[in-house]
Amino acid sequence: MSNKSIQYTVLARRFRPQNFSEVVGQEMVAKALQNAICADRVAHAYLFTGARGVGKTSMARILAKALNCPNSQDGIPCGDCEVCQNIAVGSDIDVLEIDGASNRGIDDIRSLRANVNVRSMRSQYKIYIIDEVHMLTKEAFNALLKTLEEPPPNVKFIFCTTEPNKLPDTILSRCQRFDFGYIEESSICNRLKQIAELEKVEVDESAIQLVARRAGGSMRDSQSIFDQLLSFGDSHLTAESVHRILGTASDERLIELIDALIDRKQDVALSLFESALNTGVQLNEFVDQLLNYLRDLSVVATGADQVTLLAISEINRSSLQKQTQIWGIQTCLAAFQILNEARNKMFRASHGRALVELALIRISLLEDLDQLCAMLTNGGQIPALPSRPQPAPQPQASMQNAVPAPEVNTSTQIEPPPQKKIEKKTEINSVVTQNSIETTTSTAELIPFRAGVESLLLAQLIEFNGDLIKDSLKGVESIAISGPKQLDLQFSKSYNFSKQYCERPEIMVKLEGSLEKLTGERIKIRLLESKASSEKTTENQSNPSQAKKRVEQRDLSPVSDDFLQEALAVFNATSVRVSVLNKQAEDEKEDS
C-alpha cells in the first residue's frame, strides 16, 4: 500500500481537533471545561448533546487528555506524550470508549460496574466515554444509576448523545450537561480552506461554500464531502465539480426554474426540470434544493437580510428579492407547502417524478395571495355572486293602476332577510301591484321614511351596525315616527344600560349615519324610556273596549304582521291595501 493511499485512508481522521482551541464552533463549551480543570471543579459525569458531527466525541477525548496528561498546563494537554497520543487514537487503557449502540444490555453495564472500582493503571483518572448513550436499555440505565450517583473518586463519566430526550431524568439530573450547537457556515469554510492548503489542492471559493452549505452545520459531514471531492482527482476544483459529484443543481438553474413558475410558463418549467435530471441531477436532491430555495424566498420576503441562505449563495440574494416582489410571502409559503407535500409522498410512491412535475404545475397556477389578502384587508370588493334572474316584463295594460315603485339609489344595497318558514296566525290578503315587485342586481333600494316602515328600519339598523350596537338595539321595545325628520326609539326599563350606551355622542352619530344611508335623508333619532307596565294594565282595565280596539288595529296593521313583512322583504315589495278575510274580526270592527 502506497503512502498516498495510507493518507487517503486516514484523511477524515487526520484533521480531528486535538485540543480545546481546535474545536470549531464550540468555544463556549471548551472555555467552560478548561476553566473547570484549572479551578479543580471537574464533575464526576458530563453529558455532551448535539447534532452529528459537531464535536461531541472529540471534545470528550480532549477533556480526557486534559485530565490525564502529565504535562498539561492550564487545562491544555501537551498532545505529544504517550498518554495524549493513545487517547487520540482510542487505545489508552485508562480511557475506555464504549459504543452505546452495540453495548447496550444490562450485562455490559454489569461488567462496567465490576471494573469501575479497579484503579487506573498509570493515569490520575479512569474515564469512561459512552457514545450514543441513549441507545442503552432501561435495565442498563437502572444498573448504571447507583454507580453514576456515587462513583469512586478517580472515575469520570462522559456521555455523548444526539437524542438527550431519550435519557431518563434520573440520569440527566446526575450529569453536567453541555449542548453543542450547529457550526456556522463561515467557520466550516475557513476550516476547509485550511485543509485544502495542507492537501495542496486548489479549490474555488464557490465550491467550498457549496460544501459548507451541504454539510448543514456539521463539521464531520463537510470533511466527508470534501474528502469525496478531493478524491475526484482534479487539480482545480470548481462549483461545477461539486454539483456533478453530489448530484445537485446550480444556482442559475434553480433561479431560472422559479422564474418560469412565477411567469406561469409551465412548459418552460417542465423543460428545465427534465434538463436538470438528464444532466445528472438526482431527483431527491433537486427537490430538497427547491424546498430550501422556497424557504430562502420566504426569509427574504420577511426582510431578514442577516439570515443565512440555504439553497444558493449570498451573491444571488438580489435575484430572490426581485422574485419576492412579484410573488409575496403568502405565495412563497403556499408553494413550499405544495412541494413539501409532494416530497412526503415520494417516500411511499414509485412515481416520484410525476409527483414533482404536478407540484410544479400547481405552483405555477398560484394566484398573488398577498394582493388578494391586501384587497380584503383594505376593504376591497369580493366578486359578487350570480344575481337572480329578473322577472319577465308585464303587459302595459296591467301597469296602468300600479303604484309608483320606490326611488332607487345605486350607492347603498340592503340585502333582504333570508326566506324562512313562518307560521301564519292571521289570514290577510295583500294586494300587491306588479310594478311594486322589483329584483335588485347591482343597485340598492332606499327605504322611504314614512309610516309603516318602522319595524323594517329597526331591523336594518340592527343588521347595519356592529355587535355592541346590535346588542343594545335589541332592547328597543317600540319604534315610531314622531315627526317629518324624527324617529323615536323607546327602550324597556330593563334595558336602561343599552339606552345609556346608545346615548353616547359617537354612537348617536353612527346610528344617524346608518339611518341616512338606509333612507337617503338626515333623520334625527330620539331615545325614550318606556312607561311602567302597570299604567298600561290600569288603562286597559278602565277602558276595555278601547284596549280591544287597539289590539284589533295592531293585528290589522300590515307593519305588525310577521307573515306579510316576511313576504314583502323577500319580494322587495310594498303593501298597497289590506283586506280582512276573517269575518268575525270584520263584524267586530263594524260594531265598534
Q: What's 232's domain CATH number?
A: 1.20.272.10
Mean pLDDT for 178-189 is: 91
Residues 61 and 106 in one domain: yes
Q: What are the helix (H) ranges across 159-301? A: 169-172, 185-199, 205-215, 219-230, 239-246, 251-262, 266-278, 283-301
Tell me, yes or no, whether 438 lies in a domain: yes
Of the ranges 374-383, 442-451, 464-473, 497-506, the best mean pLDDT one = 497-506
Is-contact 108 122, C-beta < 8 A?
A: no
Tell me, yes or no, whether 592 lies in a domain: no
Angle, alpha carbons 339-345-350 (nearest 5°): 120
Alpha-carbon distance 61 to 65, whole Å?
6
For residue 345, what is its C-alpha cell? 409522498
Q: Inform me whether the pLDDT recorded for 410 exceeds 50.
A: no
Alpha-carbon distance 457 to 560, whole Å?
13
Residues 301 and 338 in one domain: yes
Is-contact 331 369, C-beta < 8 A?
A: yes
Is-contact 155 130, C-beta < 8 A?
A: no
Mean pLDDT for 71-78 is: 88
Is-contact 150 174, C-beta < 8 A?
A: no
Mean pLDDT for 411-438 is: 37
Number of domains composing the chain: 3
pLDDT at 89: 85
pLDDT at 462: 82
Q: Return the C-alpha torsion angle 4, 7, 9, 11, nearest 10.
A: -140
Residues 352 and 415 in one domain: no
Q: Inform me whether the pLDDT recorded for 162 exceeds 90.
A: yes
Tell me, yes or no, whether 399 lies in a domain: no
pLDDT at 360: 95
Q: Inform me whether the pLDDT recorded for 424 exceeds 60.
A: no
CATH number at residue 18: 3.40.50.300
pLDDT at 134: 92
Query: Domain ends where: 166, 181, 196?
Result: 181
Tell me, yes or no, whether 400 lies in a domain: no
Task: Encode pLDDT of 477-501 as tens digits.
Answer: 888 888 778 888 888 877 887 888 8
Tell me, yes or no, whether 461 lies in a domain: yes
pLDDT at 343: 93
Backbone angles phi, psi at 66, to 5 degrees: -65, -30
Q: Inform me whether the pLDDT recorded for 357 exceeds 60.
A: yes
Query: Domain ends where: 154, 181, 208?
Result: 181
Residues 309 and 348 in one domain: yes
Residues 134 and 223 in one domain: no
pLDDT at 435: 35
The residue behind cell 479551578 is 39
Mean pLDDT for the chain overall: 78
Least confident of 151-165, 223-237, 347-361, 441-455: 441-455
Tell me, yes or no, whether 80 lies in a domain: yes
pLDDT at 334: 92
Alpha-carbon distance 74 to 464, whole Å?
79
Alpha-carbon distance 352 to 288, whole Å?
13
Residues 164 and 195 in one domain: no
pLDDT at 157: 93
pLDDT at 422: 35
Q: Inform me whether the pLDDT recorded for 208 exceeds 60.
A: yes
Alpha-carbon distance 143 to 341, whole Å?
45
pLDDT at 421: 39
Tell me, yes or no, whether 234 lies in a domain: yes
pLDDT at 47: 95
Q: Give the residue numbers spanning the domain of 54.
A: 3-181
pLDDT at 5: 42
What percent of the chain shows pLDDT beyond 70? 74
Is-contact 329 336, C-beta < 8 A?
A: no
Task: Encode pLDDT of 248-264 as tens digits.
Answer: 999 999 999 999 999 99
Is-contact 529 498, C-beta < 8 A?
A: no
CATH number at residue 444: 3.30.300.180
Mean pLDDT for 459-476 is: 80
